[in-house]
């Protein structure tokens, strides 16, 4: 019996990963370049760290994960060290801040952009590799650093094409919630589990509404499918304090702050949190960032376990249509806050830090929804090849176009079938095709075909049929660049 030939590998991406083609890569780069321009103006420096960190350096910072290397792609090196792909850009920053603390300025202001990897169950729109775009200040305890991050985030959104009125940056403070918890009798290590349930409950206020949250603060809640979620078992009085926090936002910033001051009562940490929010609001107002751009909002609680002070979130307020055709707000595209304990793991000392992370794919999706990016990119001008013996002439044309800053290429496939060249130009999204056959060469001219105006070209079209169509002109060879520029401009 003959040996079976080896099985060919399947040409498919691994589960939870995807490929990005031309327009998507171009759009993302343009968006990140625009954001980097804003960060650069604010005095932040770029930083690129390795995609691989030691598991020890990454630590345990993924939410709802028990083992240090759970949720990450990790492997054991030949010298027995455990390594992993980074799961965010903040953990590597903490390592850099500790490793180079004697060389870096303090405060250290950096931005970073790149892919991160999470070994989690993939789902619709949820991938195991995705892009993040972060900016952080390490080494400043001043709330001016937090206010600056919020202002920079607002500027970045407007710069990439989210107009004022279509977004709001919401600011809250971890210390305020700690104060509310204290007033509700939930301070202390023995109340850690209850605080976690309360935190998750508040985070669901938009989805479950006040009654759903109230049920989770009490004995628990049964959802539509019959699944029961255990509650925090708070008394009615305790639940009332927490519910007061969820509805503390008022029409103006000062009114919201006054309500928060009432809620934190005699809690020192709560009062400190309210004072920090007041200082941030005053700093932003002095720079012209009013409530149409940045607001105090007690509803911001995402990822609070990670943070130690001010927290912020950028929400897009315009509506889109979901998969079922229902209108809904686009939602959050960025979040961040103060995390003063992160570098301590390496140095044993608290190093104050604050920063923000933009969800690159979500922001790109928002720009597409607003029509700010096209979803396709213009291809190159294609110089067709009518006579393979004159390839040098065609390459000279391409070179002239490129020297003039025009994206261009010569057709490098088999030039025998002219229809295939036209199909290729169409598939490339070419705006213009350049043709010079023997007759044009004798006359010292070239034919320019405007493919944007022209109809899609069938593979069977002959040269003569094609040249008879509208939206093309014959120009002297010496005017090639000028004529192509004019056609592209039109």
Fold observed for domain 16-141+340-377 = BirA Bifunctional Protein; domain 2 (3.30.930)
Q: Quick one: pLDDT band at residue 198, thresholds 50, 70, 90?
A: confident
Count of other CB atoms within 10 angstroms of residue 57: 18
Going from N- to C-terminal start, the domains of the chain cover: 16-141+340-377, 163-316, 381-489
φ, ψ for residue 470, nearest 5 deg:
-75, 180
Q: Quick one: pLDDT band at residue 391, thresholds 50, 70, 90?
A: very high
Q: Using a pLDDT cut of 70, give the percent of the chain over it.
A: 92
Same-fold call for 16-141+340-377 versus 163-316 = yes
Q: Quick one: pLDDT band at residue 456, thresholds 50, 70, 90?
A: very low
Task: Tell me what pLDDT residue 120 has.
Answer: 84
Across the beta sheet with 445-450, the strand order is 408-410, 381-383, 432-435, 445-450, 472-476
User: Using one digit for the tens of pLDDT, what is the confidence trace for 237-255?
Assistant: 888 888 888 888 898 888 9
- Dihedral sign (CA 409, 414, 415, 419): negative
Contact between 221 and 204 under an 8 Å Cβ cutoff? The reply is no
423-452: average pLDDT: 93
Q: Which ranges of 5-139 does DSSP label H, i.e. alpha helix?
A: 22-41, 55-58, 90-99
User: Using one digit for the tens of pLDDT, what is the confidence trace for 136-179?
Assistant: 999 999 999 999 999 999 999 999 999 999 999 999 999 998 89
Measured distance CA(81)–CA(488) in Å, rounded? 56
- pLDDT at residue 378 greater than cutoff 60: yes
29-55: average pLDDT: 96
Tokens of 256: 């919201």
Task: Tell me what pLDDT residue 459 has.
Answer: 46
Tokens of 394: 């065609």
Q: Quick one: pLDDT band at residue 465, thresholds 50, 70, 90?
A: low
User: Using one digit for the tens of pLDDT, what is the confidence trace for 1-19?
Assistant: 667 888 899 999 999 899 9
| Listed range (97-106, 116-125, 196-205, 477-486) with the worst mean pLDDT | 196-205
359-377: average pLDDT: 81
Q: Using a pLDDT cut of 90, give the percent of the chain over it.
A: 54
The superfamily CATH assigns to domain 381-489 is: Anticodon-binding domain (3.40.50.800)
Measured distance CA(160)–CA(156) in Å, rounded? 6
Q: Among residues 110, 178, 176, 116, which one has the least CA distance to residue 149?
A: 110
Fold observed for domain 163-316 = BirA Bifunctional Protein; domain 2 (3.30.930)
- pLDDT at residue 462 greater than cutoff 60: no
């Amino acid at each position: 019996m003959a040996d079976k030939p080896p099985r060919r590998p399947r040409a498919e991406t691994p589960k939870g990963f995807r490929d990005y083609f031309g327009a998507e890569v171009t759009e993302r780069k343009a968006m990140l370049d625009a954001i980097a321009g804003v960060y650069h103006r604010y005095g932040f420096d770029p930083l690129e760290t390795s995609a691989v960190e030691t598991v020890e350096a990454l630590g345990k910072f993924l939410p709802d994960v028990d083992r240090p290397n759970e949720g990450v792609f990790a492997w054991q090196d030949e010298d027995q060290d455990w390594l992993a792909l980074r799961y965010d850009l903040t953990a590597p920053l903490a390592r850099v801040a500790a490793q180079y603390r004697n060389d870096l300025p303090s405060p250290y202001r950096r931005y970073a952009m790149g892919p991160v990897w999470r070994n989690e169950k993939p789902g619709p729109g949820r991938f195991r590799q995705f892009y993040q775009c972060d900016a952080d200040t390490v080494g400043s305890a001043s709330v001016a650093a937090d206010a600056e991050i919020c202002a920079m985030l607002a500027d970045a959104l407007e710069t990439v094409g989210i107009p004022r009125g279509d977004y709001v940056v919401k600011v809250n403070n971890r210390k305020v919630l700690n104060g509310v918890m204290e007033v509700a009798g939930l301070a202390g290590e023995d109340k850690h589990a209850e605080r976690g349930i309360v935190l998750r409950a508040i985070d669901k206020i938009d989805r479950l509404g006040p009654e759903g949250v109230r049920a989770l603060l009490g004995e628990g809640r049964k959802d539509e499918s019959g699944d029961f979620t255990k509650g925090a078992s708070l008394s009615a009085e305790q639940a009332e304090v927490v519910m007061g926090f969820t509805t503390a936002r008022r029409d103006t910033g000062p009114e919201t702050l006054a309500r928060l001051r009432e809620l934190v009562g005699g809690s020192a940490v709560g009062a400190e949190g309210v004072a920090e929010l007041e200082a941030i609001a005053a700093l932003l107002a002095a720079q012209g960032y009013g409530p149409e751009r940045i607001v105090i909002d007690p509803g911001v609680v995402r990822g609070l376990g990670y943070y130690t002070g001010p927290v912020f979130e950028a929400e897009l307020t315009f509506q889109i249509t979901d998969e079922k055709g229902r209108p809904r707000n686009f939602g959050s595209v960025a979040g961040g806050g103060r995390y003063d304990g992160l570098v301590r793991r390496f140095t044993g000392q608290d190093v104050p830090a604050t920063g923000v992370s933009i969800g690159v794919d979500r922001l790109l999706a928002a720009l597409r929804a607003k029509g700010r990016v096209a979803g396709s990119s213009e291809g190159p001008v294609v110089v067709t090849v009518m006579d393979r013996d004159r390839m040098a002439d065609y390459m000279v044309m391409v070179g002239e176009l490129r020297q003039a800053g025009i994206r261009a290429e010569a057709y490098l496939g088999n030039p025998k079938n002219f229809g295939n060249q036209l199909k290729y130009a169409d598939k490339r999204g070419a705006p213009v095709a350049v043709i010079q056959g023997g007759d044009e060469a004798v006359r010292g001219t070239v034919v320019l075909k405007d493919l944007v105006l022209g109809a899609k070209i069938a593979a069977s079209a002959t040269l003569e049929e094609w040249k008879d169509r509208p939206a093309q002109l014959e120009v002297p060879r010496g005017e090639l660049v000028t004529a192509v520029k004019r056609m592209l401009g039109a």
